[in-house]
Structure 1
Amino acid sequence: MTIKANMTIDKEFKIGNIDERIYGSFIEHLGRAVYGGIYEPDHPEADEQGFRKDVLELVKELKVPLVRYPGGNFVSGYNWEDGVGPVEDRPRRLDLAWRTTETNEIGTNEFMDWAKKVNAEVNMAVNLGTRGIDAARNLVEYCNHTSGSYWSDLRIKHGYKEPHKIKTWCLGNEMDGPWQIGHRTADEYGRIAVETAKAMKWVDPSIELVACGSSNRHMPTFAEWEAKVLEHTYDHVEFISLHTYYGNRDEDLANYLAQSMDMDQFIYSVISIADYIKAKKRSKKTINLSFDEWNVWFHSNDADKKIEPWSIAPPQLEDIYTFEDALLVGSMLISLLRRADRVKIACLAQLVNVIAPIMTENGGGAWKQSIFYPYMHTSVFGRGVALNAIVNSPKYDSKDFTDVPYLDTVTVMNEEEDTVTIFAVNRHQTDTLELEVDTRSFEGYKVVEHIVLENDDVKATNQHNHSNVVPHNNGDAKVDSGRLAANLPKLSWNVIRLGK
C-alpha cells in the first residue's frame, strides 16, 4: 500500500546557513573510546603514534569537522596537567565519573595530533567540577598562547612549538546533574562560569565559549537553569548547551520514531529562554545553541552494571545499534538542520566504541554501525543552506506524541556546487510513501542519486565482516517538468540528491 505526501522547496525559503560544526562528534576518556578505539599502539593498523589507521579512515569518511574532548562526566574530575609531558611521568588516576582507572597515556597534545589526522577541530572542555578559573586559564595559555609565558613555554618544551589555536571551549559539563562531580546550583555554576569565561578570554579574546545548559529537557530544573545561567554568562559566552538521548525501552516503534519531536521542543524551548534573557538585558547579541551530546543510548545499560570497578578501558556504553536506531538518528539530524539558524554546533555522542557509529575489536577490525550512514550522508551532502520546505504529510498519534508526520524531512541547498539534497524518513511501518515535490524554483536540476537505507528487520545490526544494514542507491526519484516524484519505502532513510 502507499500513502501520499507533497512538499514545495524554494531557494528563497531559507532557514539559515549551516555551520559545519553541526556535524561534530565527541571523544571522552570513557570505556574504549580512546584506548582500544582511536589509540591502540600494539594493533597491526597502528601508526607511528599508536593511532589506529583503520579508525582514522572511517572518521575521515564521516568528514567530522569538530570533536568535543575530553568529556563528558570525565572532565569534571580531570586534571589536564596529568596528560601532558613525558608519558612515563604521567600518573594513573581513579576516574570517579565512570569508576575506572585513567592511565593518561593520551592527553591534550596527543589528541590534538589525532584531530589533525582526521581534519577536525577540537571543542575543548574545562573542569568546573573539582577545579575552576585557574586551571582553565592555564589550559588556554598552554594551548593557544604563542610563547614567552610559563604555560606556553611548557608546551614548547613538550615538543609543540606552534600553539594549538583551539577556538571552541566548553565551560564544564552537565553541572545541573546530581551525578556530576562538583554538581552546582544554577547560581553557583553561573558565577563560576562567568568568572572563568572572563579569565579565559583575557588570555585569548578570539575563543568561543559554551555554557552548560540542562542535561536533558526532563530535568526538574530545566528552563529555570538556562535562564539563571544565561543571566550570569550572557555577555561572555556564545552558546548554551543541550544534551539528550533516546531509547526504545518499551518496544513501541511508532512512539520511538516520534521521539525526535521531543528534541524539536527542547530546541524551541531553549531558543525561547535565550531570547527572553536577550530581551531582559536589552542586548543586541544572540546566543546560539550547541547540542553537544545527542544520540540513542539504552542498549548497554544492563551490561554496564557488571563492569569491574577501577579497570582500565573496559567495554562501557557499547550500544550495538539496530536499523530502527538509524531511522531515529536520521530524524534527529533532520531536527538539528531544521533549526540551523540557531543550532550552530552539535556533537553526536560519541564517535568510537562508546555509543558510537564506529566499533572496533581490540587487535581486530573496525566497522560501521547502522547509525554511521545517516550521520555520514548529512555530513557529506548537508553543507550549505537549510531550506524551509512547505510539507503536507499524513500523520499519526502515538503514546507520547500527537500529529506525528509520517514524512520527516529537511532540504539543503549548496549554491557553490549547484546541488540540492532532500533528507527524508518515512516513519510508516507498512506503507510506501509516495512523495511529490514542487522543484520549479530549481529549474534544470535533475536527480543525481537517490540513496535508500531500508531493512525488513528493524532489529538488524552490523558486525565486523557481517553488515546487514547498508544503504543502496536504487531509489526511484525522478524530476519531470519541475516536479520530483519518489517512492520512499516503508521505514526508510532517504537521500535524494539533485544537481544540474
Structure 2
Amino acid sequence: MTIQSKVMVDKNFVVADVDQRIYGSFIEHLGRAVYGGIYEPGHPSADEQGFRRDVIEAVKALQVPIIRYPGGNFVSGYNWEDGVGPKDQRKRLLELAWWTTETNEVGTNEFADWAKLVGSDVMMAVNLGTRGADAARNLVDYCNHPSGSYWSDLRIAHGYKEPHRFKTWCLGNEMDGPWQICAKTAEEYGRLANETAKVMRWVDPSIELVACGSSSSGMQTFGYWESTVLDLCYDQVDYLSLHTYYNNNYNDTANFLATSLDLDHFINSVASICDATQAKKRSKKKLMLSLDEWNVWKTIGSSRAEQRWQIAPPEFEDVYNMEDALAVGCYLITILKHADRVKMACLAQLVNVIAPITTTADGGLLLQTTYYPFLHASSYGRGKVLQSIVSSPVYDSKDFTDVPYLESVVVYEEEQGVITIFAVNRHLSESMALDVDLRSFGEMSLLEHIVLEHDDLKAVNSTASPQQVVPHAGGSTVVDQSSAKSMLSKASWNVIRFSVK
C-alpha cells in the first residue's frame, strides 16, 4: 500500500527570507565539547593553537553561520577575565554548573580564533547569574572597542589588536531554572536584563541582544515569565530566546516523530506573547525569536555526581539513530516554516555533547545520523520559504492528534533558480506518493533527490560501522513540465531539488 500526498506552491506567496543564522549551533564548556572536542593539543591533527583540524573540517562542511558561547548553564558562574591573558597564569577553578574543574585554557580570544577557522560568527553570552551589568559592559569593551580604554587596550596587550566585533549577545541563560547558578524571578531578571542591555549598548550601539525566555514550555512559569520579562526590557532587546529538547522516552516512534508539532505550538505561543507586549506598549518594534537551544536529548537529567571535579569528563554523549535523524529533520522543517519570526536557532550542541559530531576514543571522528539532515538544510535551505498548500493523510499518537504523515517545506533560491523541498515521510510502514505542483515556475528539471533511510530505525553510526546510516542520491522523482511525482520511502528524510528557468 502507498499513501498519497500533495504539495502546491506559488513563487509569489513568500513566508519570509531565510536568515542563515537559523543554522547556528552551540559550544559550551561542558563535557568534551571544548576539551577533547574542538581543542586537543596532543591530537595528530591539532594545529598550532591545539584545535583539531578534523573537527574544523566537519564543522565547516555544515556551514554554521553563528555559534553560541560559552554557555549555557556554565556562563552563570563564569568570570570571563579568567579565560584571557597568558595561559600559564590562568586559574583552575571548580565549575559549579557541571561539577567539573575548569582549566580556562580556552577562553574568549581562543574561541574567536576557532570560530574564524570554521567560518562562523560568535553569539556571546554574558553572566547574569553571579555577575551583572558591570562585567557585561567590560566584556563588550574588551571584545568590541577598538582601543583607548583599559579593557580594549588589555585585549591588544593579549595579542589581539583588532576587536572581535561580536554582534549578537545573550543576556544570561535559562535564568528561571532552579538548576541555574543564581536563578532569578521574572521581575529580578527583567530589570537586570534591561539595565545590562542599556550599558552594553552604550559601549557598542551596534550590538543586538537576546533576552532569556523561560527555560522550556514545560516550566510552571512559562508564559508569565515571558510577559513579565518583556514588560521590563522590551525596548532594550531584539530577540527572545526559546529552548526545547525532545526524546523518545515512551519508545513510541510515531509519537516521537510528531513532537515537531509541539515545537510549532511553542514558537507560535512565544510569538503571540511578544506581539501582545508590543501591542500593550504601542511599540513599532516587532520582537524576533532566537531558538538558541534545540535538539534530541536522551540523557537529560542524568546524574553526574561520580564525575565531580574531573576535567572535561564525557557527559551527555548521546548516540543518535535513524529515528533521531528523522525527528531532527522535522524540527528543521518547522524552524523553516517560521522563518518570519525565528531569525536565529542553535542546534545544541555541536561536538560530543548531544552533538552531530563525535570524537572517538581512538582519536577518530564520527558523523552521527543527525549530522546529515542538518547538513542538507544548511546547504540547501537558504533563500525564500514559500507558502505551501499541503494535502496529507494524518494519524493520532499518544500526545498528538491529526499528525500529517508528510512534514515538508519548500525553499526557493531565486538567484540560483533552484527549488528545494525538504520532506519527511512519518509513516513507519508505507511509502508515500508525493505530487508536487510548481506551475507558477514554468518548466523545470530535476537536480537530485537525496534520501536518508534505513530499515532499522534504531540503526546508528559507530566506529565499527561509520556509514551505517548515510544519505544516498537514489530517490525516485519524475518531472513533467512544472510538476513532479516523487516516491518517499517509509520513515525517510528527503531533499528534492529542481532547477527552474
The alignment's TM-score, normalised by the length of structure 2, stands at 0.98
1: distance between equivalents of 2:351 and 2:333? 22
In the alignment, is the contact (CA less than 8 A) between 1:300 and 1:319 conserved in 2? no
List aligned pairs for 1:194-233, cutoff 5 A.
194-233=194-233
- For structure 1, which segment, 368-377 or 434-443, has the greater mean C-alpha deviation from structure 2 after superposition? 434-443
SS in 2 for 1:295: strand
State the 1:300 CA deviation.
6.8
Residue in structure 1 matched with residue 112 of structure 2 by the alignment: 112
| TM superposition shift of 1:10 | 1.1
Residue pair 1:299, 1:320 contacting (<8 A) in 2 also:
no
1:104-130 residue CA offsets vs partner (Å, 9 max, x unmatched)? 000000000000000000000000000
Q: Within 5 Å, which residues of 2 pair with 1:7-86?
A: 7-86=7-86
Work out the CA distance in 1 between the residues paired with 2:301 and 2:473: 35
Distance 2:478 2:313 in 1: 49
- 1:307: how far off? 4.0
SS at match of 2:11: coil
Matched to 1:273, the amino acid is I
| Matches of 1:363 and 1:114, distance apart in 2 | 23
> Paired residue for 1:366?
365
Taking the aligned partners of 2:347 and 2:478, their CA distance within structure 1 comes to: 32
Partner secondary structure for residue 441 of structure 1: helix
The corresponding residue for 1:258 is 258
Name the SS for the 1:290 alignment partner: strand
Q: Aligned in 2, Cα 1:301/1:130: closer, same or farther, shift over 3 Å?
A: closer
| Counterpart Cα distance in 2 of 1:142 and 1:288 | 27
1:452-493: per-residue Cα shift (whole Å, max 9, x none)? 000000100011352211000000112103211000000000
In structure 1, distance between residues paired with 2:139 and 2:362: 34
Distance in structure 1 (CA, Å) of the matches to 2:473 and 2:147 = 52
Secondary structure of the residue aligned to 2:457 is coil
Deviates more, 1:291-300 or 1:487-496: 291-300
RMSD of aligned Cα (Å):
1.0
Task: Letter of the 1:211 partner, please give it.
Answer: A
- TM superposition shift of 1:380: 0.4
Does the C-alpha gap of structure 1 residues 369 and 411 become closer, same or farther in structure 2, counting only changes over 3 Å? same
- Map Cα deviations across residues 359-390 of structure 1 (whole Å, 9 max, x no partner): 00256101110000000000000011111110
Aligned-residue sequence identity (percent) comes to: 64
Shift in Å at residue 442 of structure 1? 1.6
Cα distance in structure 1, aligned partners of 2:138 and 2:385:
39
Counterpart residue number, 1:494 = 494
Secondary structure class of the residue paired with 1:174: coil
Q: Are residue 425 (structure 1) and residue 424 (structure 2) matched?
A: yes
CA contact (8 A) 1:43 1:363 kept: no
Displacement of 1:306 after TM fit? 6.1
Structure 1 residues 81 and 107: CA distance shift in structure 2, 3 A? same
SS in 2 for 1:3: strand
CA distance, structure 2, for counterparts of residue 334 and residue 196 of structure 1: 35
Question: CA contact under 8 A between 1:44 and 1:363: conserved in structure 2?
Answer: no
Cα distance in 2 for partners of 1:382, 1:148 equals 43
Map residues 148-227 of structure 1 onto 2, 5 A cutoff: 148-227=148-227
Deviations 1:285-310 (A, max 9, x none): 010000000000014755x5464210
Preserved contact between residue 411 and residue 421 of structure 1 (Cα < 8 Å): yes
What SS is found at the alignment partner of 2:130? coil
Within-5 A mapping of 1:305-320: 305=304, 307-320=306-319
Q: TM-score, normalised by structure 1?
A: 0.99
Q: 2:247 maps to what in 1?
A: 247
Q: Deviations over 1:254-288 (max 9, x none)?
A: 11100011000000000000000000000000100
What does residue 335 of structure 2 align with? 336
SS at match of 2:36: coil
**Mapped contact 2:443–2:481 kept (Cα < 8 A):** no
Name the amino acid aligned to 1:396: Y
What do the CA deviations read for 1:433-456 (whole angstroms, capped 9, x no partner)? 100011111212211000000000
Is the 2:186–2:228 Cα contact (8 Å) retained in structure 1? yes
Return the alpha-carbon distance in structure 1 between the equivalents of residues 83 and 478 of structure 2. 54
Q: Which amino acid aligns with 1:452?
A: V
Amino acid aligned to 2:439: R
Distance in 2, matches of 1:445 and 1:234, equals: 46
Alignment partners' CA distance in 1, 2:407 and 2:100? 40
Stretch moving more, 185-194 or 480-489 = 480-489
Q: How many residues align?
A: 499
Report the secondary structure of 1:388's partner residue.
strand
User: 1:293·1:346 contact (CA, 8 Å) conserved in 2?
Assistant: yes
Matching residue of 2:390: 391
CA separation in 2, counterparts of 1:151 and 1:306? 38
